[in-house]
Homo-oligomer: A and B are copies of this chain.
């Protein structure tokens, strides 16, 4: 280590990278003999002549889910202040890049490897050995995008005050362990999927697995961090801290919505499931309904046509339809979306009231509506479609004569996902707080902006960035650092 720090920087840097390479080669060597799989795809094609359309479908859907990273980046940046944009862009880029390598190394094996007691998977590390197979790679491709989506949701809730290094470590942990293990329980053949109620806990495209996990970890992060300086006045009343670009926020929502067609319809994992058409329509209608109802509600409350809330309402509708998208019809998707739009407004106002500062509303959008989506399956599933298959048994909710069975399975999943994500989130962020000597930047850095403090640069060097800095400074003095 001494030797390392003594070297000139390029050699030091190269040494680190070299070390990583050697590690990888180690994996290779141990894995090399095991090529029993189909890396070229020749056998897979021979076995299944209709594989090409599935591969096209999943790869395109995965690309659509990927671009949601850009959507989240724009939405989060747009809803935050200009002085923190470099920091947000770095977090958004690195949660994907660090997270995908973590999911590649560890997470995928835990989530989709050979099941161990319904708890986690145990094979497929580094996609090596028998996992060097076109089918396994295809599954990884789609799933790594989902893992990264869960990771990036948290960025909004902890925005404008979390240290970058804490975020990097968080991204490793969520993508290696927290997300994959819960994911295994629902999608990897784990215990939640085999609950003895209804069809077991089901979550078509991840209202719970992705969004509730992200949303409730975000809640934990926001609580551990405390509110931003200036968010609450001396009486504890929430002040609006407007985001710096509504056009970026809107762009982010359009990109997210676009990507969601891959997220939901691609979750069939097979082009032969023509139910994709229903899924895509439901996705559209729920998003539209969410935007409309959230605008109606916020207008009723404030008499203002709040575009930020309408944008969040659209995402809320998308989150809520994600679990039930394959099991409900169009009108139900609209109703689910309408309710989602109400939930997001009530949620944002509620967290403001209890003084939890979630800068972009991520907890209400992804957490609360993730839960709503899971429950909606138990209510609206209409008994026309099975579990990723046209063959029965079908998923049937309360309103279609399915009784409360499915609703119970969904409710159990809700309790588990909230406990898992919020609980581990609290532990993780507390632990990071101790290990790193604080996960929150200093009050000085926060007021000046994380871009200067953490990155030594500005997102907009050719523009004059303005803000009510004296107010923030006064707040910081009053509240002793805002924490």
Chain A residues with CB under 8 Å of chain B are 9-10, 12-14, 16-17, 20-21, 24-25, 27-28, 31, 35, 39-42, 44-45, 50-60, 62-64, 66-67, 69-70, 73-74, 77, 81-83, 85-86, 89-90, 92-94, 96-98, 100-101, 104, 126-128, 132, 134-135, 137-138, 140-141, 144, 164, 242-251, 253-255, 257-258, 261-262, 265, 271-278, 280-281, 284-285, 287-289, 291-293, 295-297, 300-301, 304-308, 310-311, 314, 329-332, 334-335, 338-339, 341-342, 345-346, 382, 384-385, 390-391, 454-467
* Pairwise interchain contact B63-A244, C-beta atoms closer than 8 A: no
Contact B332 A28 (CB under 8 A): yes
Query: Is B265 a contact partner of A59 (Cβ separation < 8 A)?
Result: yes
Cβ A56 vs Cβ B59 within 8 A: no
Give which listed residue, B31, B42, B244, B464, contacts A464 with CB less than 8 A.
B464
- Decide: B334 and A101 in contact? CB cutoff 8 A: yes
How many Å lie between the Cα of A90 and that of B466 in the bound state? 24
In the bound complex, how far is the Cα of B338 from the Cα of A248, in angstroms?
Answer: 31
A96 to B265, CA, bound (A): 20
Using known A-B contacts A141-B277, A311-B93, determine if residue A329 contacts B39 with beta carbons closer than 8 Å. Answer: yes
In the complex, the 4 A-B pairs of residues with the closest C-beta atoms, listed nearest first: A41-B274, A70-B254, A138-B277, A97-B288
| Assembled-state Cα–Cα distance A248/B462 (Å) | 13
The reply to whether A305 and B164 contact each other, CB–CB distance below 8 Å, is yes
A42 CB contacts on chain B under 8 angstroms: 390-391
Once the chains bind, are A66 and B261 in contact (CB under 8 Å)?
yes
B254 touches A67 (CB 8 A): yes
Smallest Cβ-Cβ distance to A302: which chain B residue: B456
Residues of B within 8 A of A242 (CB): 457-458, 461
Given contacts A271-B52, A274-B44, A390-B42, contact A62 B296 (CB under 8 A): no
A284 touching B100, Cβ below 8 Å = yes
Q: Quick check: B455 and A305 within 8 Å, CB to CB?
A: yes
Find the residue from A271, A304, A385 having the highest chain B CB count within 10 A: A271
Contacts A28-B332, A70-B255, A288-B101 known; A385 to B40 CB distance under 8 Å? yes
Kindly list chain B residues whose C-beta atoms are within 8 Å of the C-beta of A74. 247, 251
- 6 further contact pairs, Cβ within 8 A, besides A17-B296, A97-B289, A247-B248: A10-B301, A17-B297, A21-B335, A41-B277, A137-B280, A307-B457
Tell me the nearest residue of chain B to A461, going by C-beta.
B242
Nearest B residue (CB) for A311: B93
Nearest CB of B to A61, in Å: 9
Q: Which residues of B contact A277 (CB under 8 A)?
A: 41, 55, 58-59, 134-135, 137-138, 141
Most central of A246, A274, A314 by chain B CB within 10 Å? A274
A77 to B: closest C-beta gap in Å? 5
Q: A79 → chain B, closest Cβ, in Å? A: 11
Q: Which residue of B lies closest to A37 (CB)?
A: B384
Shortest Cβ distance from residue A224 to the other chain B in the assembled complex, whole angstroms: 22
Neighbouring B residues of A132 by C-beta, 8 Å = 329-330, 384
Partner of A244, one of B85, B293, B391, B463: B463
Set of chain B residues within 8 Å of A27, measured between Cβ atoms? 331
15 contacts between A and B (CB under 8 A): A14-B342, A31-B331, A40-B390, A41-B390, A56-B60, A63-B258, A85-B246, A85-B247, A104-B330, A127-B281, A144-B281, A244-B463, A246-B457, A251-B251, A304-B456
Q: State in angstroms the CA–CA spacing of A391 and B42 once bound together.
A: 8
For A276, what are the chain B residues with a Cβ–Cβ distance below 8 Å? 41, 55-56, 59
* Known contacts A40-B385, A247-B248, A53 near B271 by CB under 8 Å: yes
Write out the residue numbers on chain B whose beta carbons fall within 8 Å of the beta carbon of A134: 274-275, 277-278
**Is B85 a contact partner of A253 (Cβ separation < 8 A)?**
no
Residues of chain B within 8 A (CB-CB) of A86 are 246, 307
Contact status B53-A342, CB under 8 Å: no
Known: A247-B85, A300-B13. A285 touches B100 (CB 8 A): yes
Residue among A17, A132, A262, A295 with max Cβ neighbours from chain B (10 Å):
A17
User: Taking CB as reference atom, which chain B residue is nearest A72?
Assistant: B254
Docked-complex contact B330 and A126, CB < 8 angstroms? yes
Inter-subunit contact A244/B462 (CB<8 Å): yes
- A254 neighbours in B (Cβ, 8 Å): 67, 69-70, 73
**Contact call B245/A17, Cβ cutoff below 8 A:** no
